[in-house]
Amino acid sequence: MKLDILLGLQWGDEGKGKIVDVLAQDYNIICRFQGGPNAGHSLEFNNIKHVLHTIPSGVFRPETINIIGNGVVIDPVIFQKEIIALEKMGVEIKKNLFISKRAHLILPSHRILDAASEASKGKTKIGSTLKGIGPTYMDKTGRNGIRVGDILNPNFKEIYNNLTNKHKDILKQYNYEYNLDEYESSWFEGIELLKSFQIIESEHVINKYLDEGKKMLAEGAQGTLLDIDFGSYPFVTSSNTICAGACTGLGVAPTRIGKVFGVFKAYCTRVGSGPFPTELENEVGEQLRQQGHEFGATTGRPRRCGWMDLPALKYSIMINGVTNLIVTKADVLSNFKTIKICTHYLHNGKSIDYLPYEINEPLEPVYKEMKGWEKDITTCKTYNELPKEFIDYLKYIEDEVKVPITIISVGPDRKQTIVK
């Protein structure tokens, strides 16, 4: 069996959690392959809204196995909070959640390093989620990291102290006050909880499941434009958020990849700093923010909003080899008379129709205007019920990017999903 992958094509928050929850009914296994608690994946059903950070979005389907892969970074404190919230909702989590021995741990001092680094950057800060993501991946690639498998080592406390002491030395360079003690005790509580879960050699388990013909979906976090290699560097996250990240983050060969679902919003949003060519710093942007409830699921920060950016979408489709597109939040555009789509940019007065290396330089978006549908679409159940103007909008995008849009999300609830 092949591994299908679902990932974000913009700057994160495209609605991946909602869609994974919907698709999970067709899969036996859902796996996270990168990122960590910087992610906030919301899903809604039976009037309950839930936000997941580390745990895969298949967790609400009782038959589905969920795997936290080797490419993920785990903060035991946040993990414990998520588990408690899920258990309160009656989810039997221990049976169906597996964690890779190779996943790296976010230490309390990684969080402090993240905060100290951001504070020292002042205006040029990344606008990170302050969850310790960057410093943890730095220790991973610097070959200093601590992995989930290490918690089973009798000398774990010593391993922990060695790395924390290294961090304390680095922190001397910053003029940053901190207190580790409080977070440390809940961190070790979280470690004890982690030990009670099924800690596995996930690459073997995942490949065995695929050999057995089990259906598996990899759930991306963040989005392609936040990828460490192909995003708007340095304003990115510290992992490979793209399709290839699922191969390294799970131990699955590229020849085993099946469908690649690319999720995009009908407009664009971004949290944190960095370039955003179609950003609307005006009342239209504010209208998108209010109507789309564009406030971060992890940090609560207001999301920056702007029109759909086709060159950026084409870039993401190319990098990921997207086979199926999924559009979300088009319902948010229902009150707009006209809808704009950026078709190309002016860069130094020259027209370009692709996302260039110079994304940090001014790129002036050039727009095509389309007639809005001005109708509520949140109760539409089938493609044929959708207003003509909306179908024209979808067809225009499909013609431009040459990939079919196969799922249309018209609201946050599981049921508000049209499969074409």
Give residues in contact with ligand GDP (CB under 6 A): 8, 12-18, 40-42, 44, 293, 297, 328-329, 331-332, 409-412
Contact at 8 Å (CB) between 380 and 371? no
Q: How far is the CB of 411 from ligand GDP (least distance, A)?
A: 5
Q: How far is the CB of 328 from ligand IMO (least distance, A)?
A: 12
Residue 410 binds which entry of Mg ion, ligand IMO, ligand GDP, none, with Cβ cut-offs from 5 to 8 Å by kind? ligand GDP
Residue 374 binds which entry of Mg ion, ligand GDP, ligand IMO, none, with Cβ cut-offs from 5 to 8 Å by kind? none
Question: Tokens standing for 100?
Answer: 């890779």
Contact at 8 Å (CB) between 202 and 70? yes
Q: Which is nearer to Mg ion, 10 or 202 (CB)?
A: 10
| Residue 19 is a binding residue for Mg ion (CB under 5 A) | no
Q: Which is nearer to ligand IMO, 297 or 380 (CB)?
A: 297
User: What part of residues 264-323 is at the interface with Mg ion (CB under 5 A)?
Assistant: 297
Contact pick of 3, 4, 10, 13 for Mg ion (by CB under 5 A): 13
Q: How far is the CB of 239 from ligand IMO (least distance, A)?
A: 8
Q: Where are the alpha helices (DSSP H) in 181-254?
A: 181-195, 202-211, 243-250
**Residue 30 CB partners (closer than 8 Å, separation 6+):** 20, 24, 56, 57, 58, 59, 64, 65, 66, 67, 216, 217, 218, 219
Q: How far is the CB of 1 from ligand IMO (least distance, A)?
A: 26
Residue 38 binds which entry of Mg ion, ligand IMO, ligand GDP, none, with Cβ cut-offs from 5 to 8 Å by kind? ligand IMO
State which amino acid sits at residue 210: L
Under DSSP, the state recorded for 231 is S
Q: Is 181 exposed, middle or buried (0-12, 13-18, 19+ CB in 10 A)?
A: exposed
Question: Tokens standing for 209?
Answer: 């499941």
Q: Is 150 a catalytic residue?
A: no
Question: Tokens standing for 79?
Answer: 């993990």
Residue 251 binds which entry of ligand GDP, ligand IMO, Mg ion, none, with Cβ cut-offs from 5 to 8 Å by kind? none
Q: Is 21 a catalytic residue?
A: no
Between the CA of residue 351 and those of 225, 357, 361, 396, 397, what are the distances in Å?
Answer: 21, 15, 14, 21, 20
Among 4, 21, 41, 50, the active-site one is: 41
Residue 328 binds which entry of ligand GDP, ligand IMO, Mg ion, none, with Cβ cut-offs from 5 to 8 Å by kind? ligand GDP
Q: How far is the CB of 50 from Mg ion (least distance, A)?
A: 12
| Cis preceding linkage at 302, omega within 30 | no
Q: Which is nearer to ligand GDP, 10 or 278 (CB)?
A: 10
Q: In terms of DSSP bridges, do strands 65-68 and 41-45 run parallel, antiparallel, or are they unpaired?
A: unpaired
Q: Which is nearer to ligand IMO, 297 or 327 (CB)?
A: 297
Q: In terms of DSSP bridges, do strands 338-347 and 350-352 run parallel, antiparallel, or are they unpaired?
A: antiparallel
Q: How far is the CB of 41 from Mg ion (least distance, A)?
A: 6
Contact pick of 35, 40, 223, 245 for Mg ion (by CB under 5 A): 40
Work out the widest C-alpha separation in the chain, in whole angstroms: 65
**Residue 37 CB partners (closer than 8 Å, separation 6+):** 53, 54, 74, 75, 78, 79, 106, 129, 131, 298
Question: Tokens standing for 170?
Answer: 């680095």
Contact at 8 Å (CB) between 44 and 328? no
Q: How far is the CB of 51 from ligand GDP (least distance, A)?
A: 7
Which residues are near ligand IMO by CB under 6 A? Answer: 8, 11-13, 35, 38-41, 126-129, 131, 133-134, 221-223, 226, 237-238, 271-272, 297
Residue 129 binds which entry of ligand GDP, ligand IMO, Mg ion, none, with Cβ cut-offs from 5 to 8 Å by kind? ligand IMO
Q: Which is nearer to Mg ion, 167 or 414 (CB)?
A: 414
- Show which residues are catalytic: 13, 41
Binding site for Mg ion (CB under 5 A): 13, 40, 297
